[in-house]
């Protein structure tokens, strides 16, 4: 009966997805952009404790113009057990991941392969029964498709495919001063956009977003939510971000703010330039920390808090943070998503040069 319930669940979900997402393509005046992902369902069977099973998906250019497809994992995503009231069905924890890639499909019919990995962590006796499900088989210009994993009876979006035409992975960074840096981070699966295909480079970046970018850049594995428990406002961190944010906390990328005897994460608050200096320096190993100059040569250097002067000076000396044409550093100003991308691109270059 248990196998029958699982089989019927897969069939029902597959049928609904086929009805909702099988239509592909949006006609333009002359050319159109569309990408398909197949197969729709891959049954990976029972994944045992500590075991990893791979599912291969094909991404195909179904339009008549070059397509760029950004594949971005949730690094890795985990969901907790679910028990139904009847007590017959349950879902055990599982991890799903893939290598971040930027696929370039130049011609109609070009195909690229993406490998999705399903892992059951230690401590899950008996393993789980998994099915990889493509939640949107047809994806158009600027849209995102999702790959989910059906484990027993639950489906969760885990890997996204964002499609764009020639020249940009996002619809709103073409010609932007930070386009090169944003594109670099997007190609590595570090920078993520919004469901409408935009990156929104000029809006302030939140503390949570900044830390997620850094955790992906450092390829930190997801960690249990316990590493966030010391923050009084950890409940404000959305469920989809918990494991990556927890990895950032474990790695020491965020220490929190002390207020009233309690430590706060402040996930939604915009990052200031002073905080950005701390974040990017923490992303470098201790032996890489540059020496701070004796004096910050900016016209508003007096506005830099004493506790932050050293770290801001080190970030400036390393070229990770730069001043403005008017000679200011604006320590309390909010950092935009584009500015953060530029900073992290510089950090990434230093890290990669160190490993050569």
Q: Which residue has the higher pLDDT, 201 or 89?
A: 201
**How many Cβ atoms sit within 10 Å of the Cβ of residue 290?**
16
Q: What is the Cα 246 distance to its own chain's centre? A: 14
How much of the chain, in percent, has pLDDT values that exceed 90?
Answer: 18
Q: Which helix (H) or strand (E) holds 211?
A: helix 207-217
Residues 149, 158 contacting (CB under 8 angstroms): yes
pLDDT above 60: residue 109: yes
pLDDT confidence bin for 18, thresholds 50/70/90: very low
* Own/partner long-range contacts of 287-296 (Cβ < 8 Å, ≥24 apart): 288/350, 288/354, 289/314, 290/314, 290/317, 290/318, 291/317, 292/317, 293/317, 296/329
Residue among 90, 335, 46 nearest 214 (CA)? 335
Q: Which residue has the tokens 């069977």?
A: 45
Q: Mean pLDDT across the stretch 86-110? A: 66
- Does residue 165 sit in helix, strand or coil? coil
Q: What are the strands of the beta sheet with 77-78, ordered from one edge?
A: 77-78, 95-97, 111-119, 52-61, 34-38, 138-140
User: How many H-runs (helices) and E-runs (strands) does the chain carry?
Assistant: 7, 16
- Residue whose entry in the numeric block shows the structure tokens 């930190």: 220
pLDDT digits (tens, 9 = 90+) for 173-214: 888 999 889 988 887 778 887 766 788 999 999 999 999 999
In this prediction, residue 149 carries a pLDDT of 65
Q: Specify the higher pLDDT residue, 245 or 25.
A: 245
User: Please, which residues have CB within 8 angstroms of residue 173's CB and are 6 or more apart in sequence?
Assistant: 179, 182, 183, 199, 201, 338
In this predicted structure, what is the pLDDT of residue 20? 26
- Structure confidence at residue 270 (pLDDT): 95
């Amino acid at each position: 009966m248990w196998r029958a319930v699982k089989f019927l669940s897969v069939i029902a979900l597959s049928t609904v997805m086929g009805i909702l997402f099988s239509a592909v393509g949006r006609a333009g005046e002359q050319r159109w952009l569309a990408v398909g992902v197949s197969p729709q369902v891959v049954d990976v069977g029972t994944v045992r404790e500590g075991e990893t099973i791979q599912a291969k998906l094909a991404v195909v250019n179904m339009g008549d113009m070059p397509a760029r497809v950004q594949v971005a994992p949730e690094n890795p995503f985990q969901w907790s057990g679910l028990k139904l009231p009847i007590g017959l069905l349950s879902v055990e924890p599982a991890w799903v991941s893939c290598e971040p890639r930027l696929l370039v499909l130049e011609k109609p019919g070009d195909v690229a392969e993406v490998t999705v990995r399903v892992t059951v962590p230690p401590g899950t006796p008996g393993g789980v029964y998994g099915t990889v499900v493509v939640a949107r088989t047809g994806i158009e210009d600027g849209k995102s498709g999702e790959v989910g994993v059906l484990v027993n009876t639950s489906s969760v979006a885990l890997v996204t495919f964002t499609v764009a035409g020639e020249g940009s992975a996002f619809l709103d960074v073409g010609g932007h001063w930070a386009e090169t840096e944003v594109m670099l981070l997007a190609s590595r699966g570090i920078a993520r956009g919004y469901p409408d295909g935009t990156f929104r480079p000029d809006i302030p970046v939140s503390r949570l977003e900044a830390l997620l970018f850094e955790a992906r850049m450092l390829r930190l594995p997801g960690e249990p939510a316990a590493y966030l428990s010391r923050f009084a406002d950890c409940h404000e961190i959305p469920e989809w971000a918990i494991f990556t944010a927890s990895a950032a906390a474990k790695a020491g990328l965020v220490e929190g703010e002390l207020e009233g005897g309690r430590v706060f994460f402040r996930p939604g608050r915009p990052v200031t330039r002073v905080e950005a200096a701390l974040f990017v320096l923490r992303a470098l190993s201790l032996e890489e920390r540059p020496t701070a100059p004796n004096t910050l040569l900016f016209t508003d250097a007096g506005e830099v808090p004493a506790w932050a002067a050293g770290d801001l000076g080190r970030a400036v000396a390393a070229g990770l943070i730069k001043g403005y044409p008017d000679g200011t550093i604006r320590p309390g100003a909010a950092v935009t998503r584009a500015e953060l991308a530029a900073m992290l691109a510089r950090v990434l270059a230093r890290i990669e040069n160190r490993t050569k």
